[in-house]
Amino acid sequence: MIAFFNSFLSYLLLMLVIVVVAGAAIFAGITMRKKKNLTESGEDAGAGQADGE
């Protein structure tokens, strides 16, 4: 019975590690995409002003 709980807690800890790594990856991806969107919108606005529009 103790072996079962030991195994269960081991898999629970592994699942928590995977969730934390996935959450960090999602957060990093969202942050990088927002930065890319800001730079792209800045370039588009600059190109429009340079053309005299």
Task: Compute the average pLDDT of residues 15-29.
Answer: 98
DSSP 4: H
Residue-wise pLDDT for 37-48, tens only, equals 999 998 876 655
Token pair belonging to 5: 């709980």
pTM over 0.75, yes/no: no
- What integer pLDDT is reported at residue 43 of this predicted model? 80
Quote the pLDDT of residue 21: 98
CA 38 to chain centre: 17
**Rounded-to-integer distance, Cα 34 and Cα 29, Å:** 9
Which of 36, 29, 2 is CA-nearest to residue 44?
36
